[in-house]
Structure 1
Amino acid sequence: MASTVTSERRPGYGQLLRTPGALTFLLPGFAARQPFAMLTISIVLLVQHTTGSYGSAGAVAAVTGVSMALFAPQSGKLADRFGQRAVLLPGVLVHSASGSVLIALALAGAPLWALFVAAVPTGASVPQIGPMVRARWAAKLDGSPLMSTAAAFESVTDEFTFVIGPVLATALCTGVHPAAGLITEAALTLVGGLLFASQHHTQPQPSRADGHARVEHVSALSIPGVRVLAVSFLGIGAVFGGMQVSLTAFSEEIGNPGANGLLYGIFAAGNMLAGIACGAIAWKSAPRTRLIAGYTGLTLAASGLWAMHSAVLLGGLGLIVGLCIAPALITGYTLVESLVPASARTEAFTWLTGAVALGQAGAVTVAGRLADTHGSSAGFLVPMAGTALALVTLLSLRSRLAPRSSGRTVARSGVGHRVPVAVD
C-alpha cells in the first residue's frame, strides 16, 4: 500500500479563512445550508403528525430525497456550464413555493399521493449549496495544500448544520407547530440562497465561457472513481435517514418526543468534532486507506445501534457513529479533486450529495416501515445494512479510486479527458 506525506504541517483553518473572498461566500452559504439538514426531519414530523404513521412520513420524505438525488447532479452540471447563480435563482424560488404547497396539503389532510406529487419539486429544487461552496474552494485553491484543509472545513460546516438543523426543526415542530420546521426551512432556503447567489464574483468560471469545447461536456459520472464514491456515500445516507426516523420512534417509545433532537444532535456533534480533528491532522496514510478505515469503523459502530435500549447508551453509541462518519466524508470529497477535472467538479460533488440524499430516502422509507411494525430497534438495522454494503463496495472496487495521472496519459476518451493509470 502506498503511503504519502504531502507536508510536515497541515495548513490551519485560520490560514484557510484568510483566503481572499472566502468569507463573502461562506457566511451566506452557511445560512443557505441549514435547510438541507432540516428538510427530512421536518417532513417526517409534519406528515407523521397529520397521518399518524411513520411509514407514510418516511415515504413522503423518501420521495423528496429521491427527487433531490436525481436532480442534484443535473443542477451541478448546469452550474458547471452556465454558472451557479443561473441555477440558484430559479431553484430557491421553486423550492420555497413547492415546500409551501406541501405544507398546505399535509395540514389539509390531503391523500398520500398528493403529498408525493408536491414532494417531487420540493426535493428536485433543493439548492446544492455544499457542492457549490466546495467547487468555489476548488477553483480558488487548485493545487494548494489548503485544499485538504478546505475539505475538512466543509465537512465540519456540514455537520455543524446537522447539529443545529434537526434540533431546531424538532423544537419548532414539537414546541411551536407541526409545520413550523418546514416553514422555517423554506424561508431559510429563499433568503440564504438569494444571498449566496449574489456573490457571483467568487463562483467558478462557467465552462461554457472558458473556450475549452472538448472539456465542457465531460460528465463526472463517466469517471469510475466517482461512481464508486457515489455508491459508498449511499451508506452514509442510510445512517442519516435511519437515525432520523429511528431516533424519532425511539423518543416516542420512551415518552419523551423532545429527546429526538438532543439524541440526533449528539450524533451530529460527534461528526463535527471528528471533522475538526481530521482537518488538523497532516495525514501520512493514502486517502483510499483512510476511506476504507473510516467505513470499517462506521460499520462496526452502526452494527450495535439496534441493541441500545436506553437513551444514555443510544446517545453514547450515536456519538461514536458520528465520530466515524467525518473521516469517510472528508476523504471522499478530497478524492474528487484528484479524480475529476475542474470543469466537472460541481457535478461530481452533487453526485456525492445526491447519493447521500438517495441513501437517506431509502433509509427513511425502510426504517419507517420497520419502526411502525417492529419498533425503533428494527429501524436501527438500516444504518448497519447500508454501511456494510458500502464497505463491501469499497473493498471490491478500491483500485478505481486511483487519482488521475498528472504525468502520463494512457488513453483518451472520446470527450478528451485523461484515463489514469491505477497505482496502489
Structure 2
Amino acid sequence: MSQSVSFASYRAALSTPAARLPVLAALLGRLPVAMVGLALMLYVRHATGSFASAGLVSAGALTGAAIGSVLQGRLVDRFGPTRPLLTAAALLTLFTTLGVTAVESGAPVWLLMVIALALGVSQPSVSSSSRSLWSRLLPPGPARQAAYSYEAISMEVFFILGPAIAGLLMALPWPGTGVVIGAGSMVIGAVGFALTPAVRAWRERTEPRAGQGLLAVLTPAMRTVALAAFGFGVTIGFVEIAVPAAATMAGYPSSVGGLLLSLWSVSSVVAGLLYGLRPVPRPMYLRLPVLLAAFSLLLLLLVWQTSLAGLAIALLVVGTLITPQATAHSIAVDEVAPAGSSTEAFGWVITSVTLGLAAGQSVSGQLIELSGPPLAFAAATVAGLLIAGGVWLRRRTVRDALPAVSPADCAVADLAPARG
C-alpha cells in the first residue's frame, strides 16, 4: 500500500549521491518537453501562414512522441538507457536539421508531417529513464515515492516554463530559434544523463520477463493505469483548447490564454507537494479513479465563469489535482508493472496521456466551434467522469496486483476509502 512522504523524504531522495548528476542532466533534457511542440507549431505557422498546416505538423510530432516513448522504453529496459538515449539524441539532431531545412525551403505539408513524426519518435525518453532509475537507486519506501512525486512536480514546472520560453524566442529575428534551442537542450541533457556513472552502471537486463510482444507489458492492472492516464489526458486536452479560446473570444490576445493555463500548473506544483504528505485515498487502486473523478467535477467551476478573473481563480482551484494524479500514475507503475519492464510501462502511461490530449483537444475544438468554451468545459467533466467510472469498475485489477496489500487491508480500504 502506498505510503505518505515528508519533506525529509524529498531531501533524502534528491541528496542521494548517485542521483545528483542524473537529476541535473535530466532537468536540461526535459525542460523543452512542452517547448519543442509549441515552438515547431509557431515556426510552421510563421512559414506557411496557416494554423491548419501548423496543427497537422504539430499532431505529427505528438503522435511520434507517443510512439517513441513506448519503443524507447522497451529498449531501455532491455539494454539500459545509455545506448538508446545516445542513439535517439543523434537521430533527433538529424531530424531537427531536416525539419528546419524543409521548412526554410517551403516543403509540402505532408513532408513536414513525416519529418515531425520522426522528430517526435526520436525525442530522447529521458523522463521514463529518469523515473525508472529511482527504483535502482532507492529501496521501496517514502524516499522512492518522494522521488516519483519530484518527477511529476518537475514536469509541471517544465510545462510552465516551456511554452513561455517558446513564446519569448519567437520574438527573435529567426522564428526557428525555439525549435533549435529546444532540440539542442534535449540532446545535451540526454547525452549528459546517459553518460553519468549511475546510468552507465545500468546494465543490460539478463533476467527473464513475462511475455515478449509489444503489448505484453499491458497486464490487466497496467491497462487500468493506462486508462486512468488516458482520462487525465482527455480532460487536460479539453481545457488546453477551451481556455485560450475563451481568452480570444473575450477580445484578448491568444498569449493570455497561455498565461491562464500556467496558473493551474502553479497551483498543481504546490498541491502536489502537500498531497504527498497525506494522500487520500491511500490505497492506489482507489486513488486512481477517485482523483480523476474529483478533478473532472472541479472542471465544472470553469463552466460558470463569465470573466477572465473568475476563470483564473477557477483554474487555480482545478490545478490542485493535476500533480497528485501524475504522481499516482508514476507510483502505480512502480507497483504493478511486470518485472523488468518499468521503463516501457511508464512509456505506455506517457503514450496514454498523449493520446488523451490529442483526443480531448480535437473534440474540444469542434465543440467550441459549435457552441463556445463552456460546452467544452462541460464535456470535459462528462468525459472524465465516464472514464473514471471505467477505472473504478476495473479497480480490483490494480488491487490484486499490489503485493504489499493484504486481504485484510483491502477489506478495510473498501469500507473506508480515506483510511490506509
TM-score band, normalised by shorter chain: 0.7 to 0.9
Specify the alignment match of 2:322 in structure 1. Answer: 325
Aligned mates of 1:131, 1:84 — CA distance in 2: 10
Query: In 2, distance between residues paired with 1:204 and 1:382?
Result: 48
- Corresponding residue number in structure 2 for 1:288: 285
- The 1:373–1:63 alpha-carbon spacing in structure 2 relative to 1, beyond 3 Å, is farther
TM-aligned CA distance change 1:103 to 1:240, over 3 Å: farther
Relative to structure 1, the CA distance from residue 243 to residue 129 in structure 2 (aligned partners, 3 Å threshold; closer, same or farther) is farther
Give the corresponding residue for 2:217.
Answer: 221
Answer whether contact 1:64 1:361 (CA < 8 A) is retained: no
Distance in 1 between residues matched to 2:379 and 2:59, nearest whole Å: 14
What is the count of residue pairs matched by the alignment?
405
Q: Which deviations, in whole Å up to 9, do the C-alpha atoms of 1:248-298 show, x marking residues without a partner?
A: 444444232332332121121122112111233366721222222211121
Query: What residue identity is the alignment partner of 1:271?
Result: S
Counterpart in 1 of 2:385?
388
Is the 1:100–1:186 contact (alpha carbons within 8 Å) kept by the matching residues of 2?
Answer: no
Residue 65 of structure 1: aligned partner: 62
Residue pair 1:335, 1:403 contacting (<8 A) in 2 also: no
Q: Which deviates further from its counterpart, 265-274 or 280-289?
A: 280-289
- Structure 2, unpaired ranges of 5+: 406-412, 415-420
Among candidates 6, 23, 38, match of residue 41 of structure 1: 38
Are 1:74 and 2:71 counterparts? yes
Provide structure 1 residue ranges, at least 5 long, that are not aligned to the other structure. Answer: 409-422
TM-score when normalising by structure 2: 0.85
Cα shift at 1:214? 5.0
Q: Is 2:135 the counterpart of 1:138? A: yes
The answer as to whether partners of 1:207 and 1:343 remain within 8 angstroms in 2 is no
Distance verdict in 2 for CA 1:117–1:123, change over 3 Å: same
**For residue 213 of structure 1, what is the amino acid of its counterpart?**
P
1:167 corresponds to: 164
- Alpha-carbon deviation of 1:87? 0.6
Q: Secondary structure at the match of 1:221?
A: coil
CA deviations over 1:333-387 (Å, ceiling 9, x no partner): 1111221244110111111011112222333444445556765556556644552
Q: Distance in 2 between matches of 1:262 and 1:270?
A: 13
- The 8 Å contact of residues 85 and 200 in structure 1, kept in 2 or not, is answered as no
Distance in 1 between the 2:392 and 2:246 partners? 33
Q: Is the 8 A contact 2:230 2:355 kept in 1?
A: yes
Partner of 1:415: none
Aligned position for 1:337: 334
Per-residue CA shift, 1:69-108, capped at 9, x if unaligned?
1231111011010110111111122223323433443455
Could you say if the C-alpha distance between residues 126 and 242 of structure 1 is closer, same or farther in structure 2, counting changes exceeding 3 Å? farther
SS at match of 2:123: coil
Residue 325 of structure 2 aligns to which amino acid in structure 1?
A
Aligned partner of 1:184 among 181, 185, 189: 181
Equivalent residues of 1:59, 1:365 under 8 A apart: no
Bigger mean CA deviation after superposition, 164-173 or 99-108 = 99-108
Contact 2:291–2:325 (CA under 8 A) maintained in structure 1: yes
What is residue 121 of structure 2 aligned with on the other side?
A: 124
Q: How is 1:8-407 mapped onto 2 (pairs within 5 angstroms)?
A: 11-173=8-170, 178-202=175-199, 205-208=202-205, 210=206, 212-213=207-208, 217=212, 221-253=217-249, 254-281=251-278, 285-368=282-365, 380=377, 383-384=380-381, 386-404=383-401, 406=403
Q: Which residue of 2 aligns with 1:417?
A: none
Flag the 1:196–1:112 CA change in 2: closer, same or farther, 3 A: same
- Residue 419 of structure 1: aligned partner: none
CA distance in 1, matches of 2:237, 2:112: 19
CA contact (8 A) 1:63 1:119 kept: yes
Q: What letter matches 2:130 in structure 1? A: V
